[in-house]
Structure 1
Amino acid sequence: MLGKVIGKGRTAEVMEYGEGTILKLYLNEVPEHHVDWEYHISTYAYEQGVRTPRPVELAAEEGRKGIVFQQIHGSPLLKLMGAKPWLIASYAKQMAALQYSLHQLAGPGEAGEQKKRLKQNVIAAPMLNMEEKAPILSQLELLPGGNKLCHGDFHPDNVLMDGQLWVIDWMTAGSGDPAADAARSIVMFSIGAMPKHASLFTKVFLGFARKRMTSQYTREYMRLSGVSRADIEAWILPVAAARLVEWLPVSEKEQLVREIRKRLRSLPSAR
């Protein structure tokens, strides 16, 4: 039985659903195969021992498809960072360690799945012309495929804390190169639309917090993994371009495009 809505994102609503479970009910525009994939990959991650809510079953309510999950009584790290900004560095390091632990596991599908998806999304990306996409696709072609478990949407709103950390939202997960997954997290940490009508103080604070989180996360991830900054940087362009196909505010897409064009101008072939 449906209970109260306890969360809402760009693709789904989360509501109470019986004792000890929640229902993630997807919006009508989300294709059914995306829901099926999230159920499959969430189950795979749970069975690998990842601390993620146990997927119980696929469900349908009000003509919409959903997944029933174990309920976790924790707060998103994003909310905790806002409440205790002096702990941002600590939270960022914990996130890096958690993501690194995921990257030690084998991916669920064929090697290079993540890279194929990136290629499709770059080709389909709005706001870029083919002259801009061509060097991005050429760069992507040279990057490794990889076969490790990559979350694909690893950011502070998809990590819950109830004394320990839990990872949620696996729809974009797959097999790939850990450096690409880290690059995507860095793009999400550092490029994001400011809240509408935010005060100057809020904008300055969020800008500072974002830089602090990004630098601490990157440093810690590199320390743990041995991956170089150059390894991560090589993925930023294709990851940023692929992100343009997602449900993002126009202002955030415009930020992404500015960053993409800046990086394109600095490519050796553009000089």
Structure 2
Amino acid sequence: MKKKMIAEGNTAEVFEWSDNQVLKLFRPSFNSKACEKEFAINQELSKLISNLPKAFEMIVEDNRPGIIYERVSSPALLTLSLRKPWLIKEYGRKMARLHFNIHQKDYYGEVIPAMTTILPASISQAIYLNETEKEILLQKITQQSIEYKICHFDFHPGNIMYKRDDEKVIDWMTCCIGNPLADVARTAVMLEFAVIPRVPIFISYLSSIPQRIMNRAYLNEYCLLSGRTIDEIKVWYPIIMASRLQKWLPEAETKRLLKEVRKRLNT
């Protein structure tokens, strides 16, 4: 692959493809089904949502499946918040407004998976939780209202590309249909409890302060827009935290989330 790599994540690498296109090339551990699923989801979402990059076609490059996407030149909200930390509260409010608008869309098709399927499967596979704890969490899911809203389920500042009058949300691989408060809780948990790996605890703590400030602004604005409360969102916290306890999560964050889950189950 002679193209220039411009980004990478756990599942894929992103390369320059043309002036207005990029290639998302899945890592060798992912088969074509993951690629096909993401492409199909993008086709469904594009009928309902305008602020996501268009997926043009699936290809195979270096024996790896990939998708050619519209190139988004706007900086990520994460980059902007590092450049202008004095605007971090406003960026949190922008996140909330964008997320709330996504949650206005209902979906009753079969291509996008249901949250009621995804969350129980993730909790069943969660590491370090015992069977009793898993059963309690699975029961909590059944106690929540079933909704059919589009949920991104990986909505954080690194996946929001922003410039004035042009907002795009990328990386819809985890998109599902369900209760929007679970989607909000997932964003809040990532902002509040994410741990930067391989740095001293004190440095990690200092680095997390802006994220927590952004999170408070995000939650307050979302509640203002939706008429819901932070307490209603926090009902989802132990469920979302437990669902993230997977092998790919950094060890420090795993320990922190596990502690938080057990604290909430015992109160």
SS in 2 for 1:175: strand
- Greater shift in the superposed pair: 202-211 or 137-146: 202-211
- Greater shift in the superposed pair: 112-121 or 54-63: 112-121
The one-letter code of the counterpart of 1:227 is R
* 1:179 paired to 2:178: no
The one-letter code of the counterpart of 2:211 is R
Label 1:172 to 1:109 Cα distance change in 2 as closer, same or farther (>3 A): farther
CA contact under 8 A between 1:20 and 1:71: conserved in structure 2? yes
What residue is the counterpart of 2:194 in the other structure?
Answer: 192
What residue is the counterpart of 2:217 in the other structure?
Answer: 216
CA contact under 8 A between 2:12 and 2:25: conserved in structure 1? yes
Label 1:124 to 1:204 Cα distance change in 2 as closer, same or farther (>3 A): closer
d(CA) in 2 for partners of 1:133, 1:199: 29
SS in 2 for 1:57: strand
What residue is the counterpart of 2:26 in the other structure?
Answer: 26
CA contact under 8 A between 1:2 and 1:17: conserved in structure 2? no
Q: Pairwise mapping of residues 34-73 of structure 1 onto structure 2 (< 5 A)?
A: 34-73=34-73
SS in 1 for 2:69: strand
CA contact under 8 A between 1:126 and 1:244: conserved in structure 2? yes
CA contact under 8 A between 1:151 and 1:172: conserved in structure 2? yes
The one-letter code of the counterpart of 1:185 is T
RMSD of the alignment, in Å? 1.9
State the 1:112 CA deviation. 8.1
Label 1:256 to 1:146 Cα distance change in 2 as closer, same or farther (>3 A): same
Label 1:230 to 1:199 Cα distance change in 2 as closer, same or farther (>3 A): closer
Structure 1, residues 30-63: CA drift from partner, whole Å, max 9, x if none? 2432222211122222222321111101111111
Label 1:108 to 1:24 Cα distance change in 2 as closer, same or farther (>3 A): farther
The one-letter code of the counterpart of 1:82 is L
SS in 1 for 2:4: strand
d(CA) in 2 for partners of 1:170, 1:89: 25
What residue is the counterpart of 1:269 in the other structure?
Answer: none
d(CA) in 2 for partners of 1:86, 1:251: 28
State the 1:176 CA deviation. 0.6
d(CA) in 1 for partners of 2:7, 2:61: 17
CA contact under 8 A between 1:77 and 1:156: conserved in structure 2? yes
Label 1:55 to 1:193 Cα distance change in 2 as closer, same or farther (>3 A): same
**TM-score normalized by the length of structure 1:** 0.92
SS in 1 for 2:244: helix
State the 1:125 CA deviation. 0.8
The one-letter code of the counterpart of 2:143 is L
d(CA) in 1 for partners of 2:94, 2:247: 27
d(CA) in 2 for partners of 1:51, 1:263: 36
Structure 1, residues 103-154: CA drift from partner, whole Å, max 9, x if none? 0011364598112110111011111111211111111111122101111110
What residue is the counterpart of 1:15 in the other structure?
Answer: 15
The one-letter code of the counterpart of 2:184 is A
Identical residues among aligned pairs (%): 33
d(CA) in 2 for partners of 1:130, 1:39: 35
What residue is the counterpart of 1:207 in the other structure?
Answer: 208
* 1:76 paired to 2:76: yes
Q: Which runs of 5+ in 1 are unaligned?
A: 267-271
SS in 2 for 1:244: coil
Label 1:2 to 1:114 Cα distance change in 2 as closer, same or farther (>3 A): farther
d(CA) in 2 for partners of 1:31, 1:133: 29
d(CA) in 1 for partners of 2:66, 2:200: 34
SS in 2 for 1:3: coil
What residue is the counterpart of 1:232 in the other structure?
Answer: 233
SS in 2 for 1:170: coil
SS in 1 for 2:60: strand
SS in 1 for 2:29: coil
